[in-house]
Amino acid sequence: MNFHVISHTHWDREWHQTYQQYRVKLVRFMDELIELLENSPKYTSFMLDGQTIVLEDYLEVKPHKKEAIAKLVQEGRLLVGPWYIQPDEFIPSGESLVRNLLIGQQIAWDFGPSMQIGYLPDSFGQAAQIPQVLKGFGMDKALFWRGITDEETEKTEFWWEGPDGSKVLTTHLPLGYGNGRMISTDLEGNLEMLDENMEALEDKVTSNNMLLMCGFDQRSAIKELPEIVEHLNGHFTSEGSEHAVKFSQLEEYFNAVKEEAENLETLSGEFRKGKDMRVHVSIASTRLDLKKQNYEVQNLYEKYVEPLNSMSFLFGNNYDNAIINQGWKYTLQNHAHDSICNVCTDVTHKEMEMRYHYASQIGETVRSDATNDLIGKINFNHAKGTPLIVFNTLGNKRENIVEATVQLKSETFTIVDPNGESVPYQVVESCYENLNDKQIEIGVKNEDQYVWTTKFKFHADVPGLGYKTYYIKENTASVEESSNVYQDGVFSNDFFEAEIQPNGSLTVKEHASGNVFHELNLFEESGNAGDEYDFSPPREDVVITTKNSTPGVSVVQNGPLFATVKIVHALDVPVDTDVNGRSKETKPMMIDTYVTVNRHEDRIDLKTVIDNTVKNHRVRALFDTGINSETHIADQQFGTIRRENYLPQVEYWEEEKWEEKYYPIYPQQKFVDVSDDEKGLAILNKGLPQYEILNSQEPVVALTMLCGTDYMGKQDLVDRPGRRSGLHVETPDSSLLGKHEMEYSIIPHSGTEVDAEIGRKANEFTTSMVAVQVDHPTETRVYDDEMSFVKMDHPQAAISAVKKCEDEDGIIVRIYNTTYQEISEIKTNINNEFFKNVELVDLNERPLDDTDERLTIRDYEIVIDRMRSNEVLTFKLTN
């Protein structure tokens, strides 16, 4: 056997200690490592955990060490990259994973070559999209630890295939990333350690090569490693053994394994089984307040900051990649697997919250400046009235309700489209106020400026990736439609009727098909004896639902365009839970749900506010699909994944002594959908990354709304017996006491989720159009008051990114298939006023060498003959 000794460390940037506490150790570690490599030529390489953020963190303290690090990287002795930070693979968005690698490799290239291996030693399970993301960056090798079992393969090497057909040569680490960490100057101990590895792995490896990962959490380099390797080889030679030990690198190991590549099996999909090592299948429920902030910041950058800056840039304004990427960095720093999964101390989570604030502050400022600069180049027709410009940052043409806030001299007004046609609207709220109260006074007192500030909604249709200007005429009467959306306890619109039942749930009947869905948005409250890593019920639970509740119901808004009704549940719930059961003492807990239906949209939008008064419990919203199905569809980073409603491992995980229970509780991005060929039900969300499928073949979707716990780690849980994960540290902030607001939506539909275009509709739900009032005429009048830069109206394709190129003055447009099915004839029109050249590039924004025969570019139209399941294609547009 050839033992490939890999010298490395696994560096948790934050966890049970804060970033700064760990950084003190990092500085000492790096000082020692640099000195070791500079003074020990036989120490041929050290792997810096596949993440470049450690270089940034170190050099911020000791910038004078950059040249020394660069020399070691260029010599191939210090291996850096490819990630910016070791990510969780399920909660970050697809664009976040792309930016993680894009920024990580930019940093690595500043020193020398980047390691081109998808190194994921400690992520809590492996996402199905990873092979495609890696191949998009030119990487064809991956290595990971958690999530795979002998139910998938009994071998350590295999081809891992993504849903689009991308394949990467993959090794998993059954013994983790520290199977050689006990190596020392003790020959007998080393031989015993090698024997243990042989016993565990000899039948699993597919070649005469075995990885010996010599490192661990926050572990310094083993200084004597070259001599240890020499002594071991000397011993094997003297014994006539065929064993050999090599001070190696992962690239050398994979080159050796490649000789057997054609004989390897191919696996596909995600790996989330906690048989041999925990993946913490329910981890997506912890600290949903922070996970919601993550969603909001990601969405801000992907759907507003970058697209609006791109539009402004095409009008000749500035686009500053550096400041935008700084906002991305603050966000990505929270995507470390321990961080975004929220298995940290309270003080660490507070620092995460500050980074989200930093990213949001940068993003909102950059977005505002770009919007103002863009507006300054548009030729508005002020004779028509006060301009109200509406931006659509998605690729498809949209016809949605948009919310606007304007400040006018008059309380009454009308809205007209560019053709002068009146547009109905509905007022949300209005007040008479003095703008002087909101402005700084410098030297002199400002004059009073009294205006009517009015928030209202109207139905807008705006072309793909562009804008359209409506005009407001003051002192004129608005146009009213005849009937209100909500009448006699029933919402009625163009698509369905939704009736509020006595228990507060919804019954929905589709107009076109006649399909009826019952008991939508019931609430379930139950005990949580788990910790930050996992939800786990007490041995004797008390489950409270709103099935027999009698909530208060009141109308908040009702008009011709939309209606909002408030449903108030008051539940008496146990004040605490432990592993044995729930307390007898109870407290009232209020659940307020605002149900909104728009006349021209096929969604039922819900905003639920939970005033949490107790600890260690979970609240979920339940949706009975009424559909007979064994599987369902969930949104993943790019496109969707089909999952099982029932997992048979739930019956034998305890008997086989799995590390944790395996059951159908799953992560998601924007939606989950249950459907058959005739009807379906989609549940969309804004930053609620977890759901469970109940009742197997007659599935009920359980959407996790709130899950509180009081400790980082606990022992002997019902669903995770034995040792604890993490430390037994109190985390009172994870109890989530106080008010928490969640937004989600219901779409009943005919046919499958593909027929109903749920992928597109989920993007529209999570990405509202933006309306901006234009107060003054612009001096530089150049561009029309309606514009589309890129139009893509295929119902199953979407744009995930519009941004300026990192290194040149082009625009990157990334398109993906929102479904798991192949789609055809995807046509994308580009505005020839701004774009003359189109080039297919990889995720590194570098031109692809191979010509894609599916692609035709003609007359400023990109025609993609077909796109594979979940496929991502990236284009560079230049003038």
pLDDT digits (tens, 9 = 90+) for 263-279: 899 999 999 999 999 99
Distance CA 356, CA 386 (A): 35
Distance CA 309, CA 324 (A): 10
8 Å CB contact between 543 and 523: no
Q: Specify the pLDDT at position 480.
A: 64
Distance CA 384, CA 94 (A): 42
Provide the residue type at 287 as one letter. Answer: R
What does each C-alpha distance from 594 to 565, 619, 857 come to in angstroms?
Answer: 6, 17, 47
8 Å CB contact between 450 and 434: yes
Tokens 């390691």 belong to which residue? 115
Q: Specify the pLDDT at position 779.
A: 64
8 Å CB contact between 476 and 413: yes
Burial class (CB in 10 A: 0-12, 13-18, 19+), 502: exposed
Angle between helices 306-314 and 346-375 (to 10 degrees): 20
Distance CA 468, CA 261 (A): 54
Sign of the CA dihedral 807, 808, 811, 812?
Answer: negative
Q: What is the mean pLDDT of the chain?
A: 96
Residues 129-157: tens digit of each pLDDT: 999 999 999 999 999 999 999 999 999 99
Distance CA 590, CA 568 (A): 7
8 Å CB contact between 826 and 815: yes
Distance CA 767, CA 765 (A): 6
pLDDT at 438 over 80: no
8 Å CB contact between 131 and 142: yes
Q: CA neighbours within 13 Å on the CB side: how many for 363?
A: 24
8 Å CB contact between 222 and 7: yes
Share of the chain above pLDDT 90, in %: 93
Counted residue by residue, the chain has a size of 879
Average of pLDDT values for 456-473?
97
Q: CA neighbours within 13 Å on the CB side: how many for 282?
A: 28
Distance CA 773, CA 386 (A): 7
Q: Is 859 left (phi over 0), alpha (psi -120 to 50) or beta?
A: left
Pairing assessment for the beta strands 617-624 and 631-635 based on DSSP bridges: unpaired
Burial class (CB in 10 A: 0-12, 13-18, 19+), 698: middle
8 Å CB contact between 582 and 541: yes
Q: Specify the pLDDT at position 481.
A: 62
pLDDT at 777 over 80: no
Tokens 């298939």 belong to which residue? 817
Average of pLDDT values for 834-860?
91
DSSP-derived secondary structure letter, 766: H
Burial class (CB in 10 A: 0-12, 13-18, 19+), 260: middle
Measured in whole angstroms, the distance separating CA 251 from the mean position of its chain's CA atoms is 30
Q: pTM of the prediction?
A: 0.96
Provide the residue type at 89 as one letter. Answer: E
How many Cβ atoms sit within 10 Å of the Cβ of residue 483?
10
Distance CA 846, CA 868 (A): 21
Residues 786-813: tens digit of each pLDDT: 999 999 989 999 999 999 999 999 999 9
Distance CA 286, CA 159 (A): 33
Average of pLDDT values for 274-296?
97
Question: Rounded to 5 degrees, what are φ and ψ at 267?
Answer: -115, 155
Average of pLDDT values for 712-738?
97
pLDDT at 445 over 80: no
Written as six digits, the tokens of 839 are 């080039």
Written as six digits, the tokens of 484 are 């209100």
Average of pLDDT values for 281-294?
98
Provide the residue type at 851 as one letter. Answer: T
Average of pLDDT values for 82-89?
98
Residue 161 pairs in a beta bridge with 167, 268
End-to-end CA distance of the chain: 57
8 Å CB contact between 36 and 223: yes
8 Å CB contact between 395 and 760: no
Which is higher by pLDDT, 857 or 704? 704
pLDDT at 442 over 90: no
Average of pLDDT values for 822-826?
96
pLDDT at 96 over 80: yes
Q: What are the residues whose beta carbons fall under 8 Å from the beta carbon of 526, sequence distance 6 or more?
A: 537, 541, 542, 543, 544, 617, 618
Nearest Cα neighbor of 48 from 30, 28, 23, 71 is: 30
Q: Specify the pLDDT at position 444.
A: 75
Residues 185-206: tens digit of each pLDDT: 999 999 999 999 999 999 999 9
Residues 18-71: tens digit of each pLDDT: 999 999 999 999 999 999 999 999 999 999 999 999 999 999 999 999 999 999
Written as six digits, the tokens of 242 are 């065929």
Sign of the CA dihedral 368, 370, 376, 379?
Answer: negative
Angle between helices 19-39 and 53-61 (to 10 degrees): 90
Strand, coil or helix: 803: strand
Distance CA 59, CA 370 (A): 32
Q: Specify the pLDDT at position 482.
A: 72
Which H/E stretch holds residue 452?
strand 450-462
pLDDT at 854 over 80: yes
Average of pLDDT values for 159-178?
97
Residue 420 pairs in a beta bridge with none
Q: Specify the pLDDT at position 2.
A: 97
Residues 548-583: tens digit of each pLDDT: 999 999 999 999 999 999 999 999 999 999 999 999
Residues 385-436: tens digit of each pLDDT: 999 999 999 999 999 999 999 999 999 999 999 999 999 999 999 999 988 7
How does DSSP assign 694-748, residue by residue? ESTTS-EEEEEEEE--SBS--SS-SSS-SSPSS---B-GGGG--EEEEEEEEEEE
pLDDT at 479 over 90: no
The C-alpha R_g of the chain, in whole angstroms, comes to 29
Separate counts of helices (H) and strands (E) for the chain: 14, 46
Angle between helices 321-333 and 346-375 (to 10 degrees): 160
Distance CA 362, CA 414 (A): 35
Nearest Cα neighbor of 284 from 667, 619, 740 is: 667
Strand, coil or helix: 253: helix
8 Å CB contact between 484 and 559: yes
Written as six digits, the tokens of 856 are 């035709």
CA angle in degrees (0–180, nearest 5) for 304-118-275 = 105
Written as six digits, the tokens of 254 are 């994979």
Tokens 């021209």 belong to which residue? 600
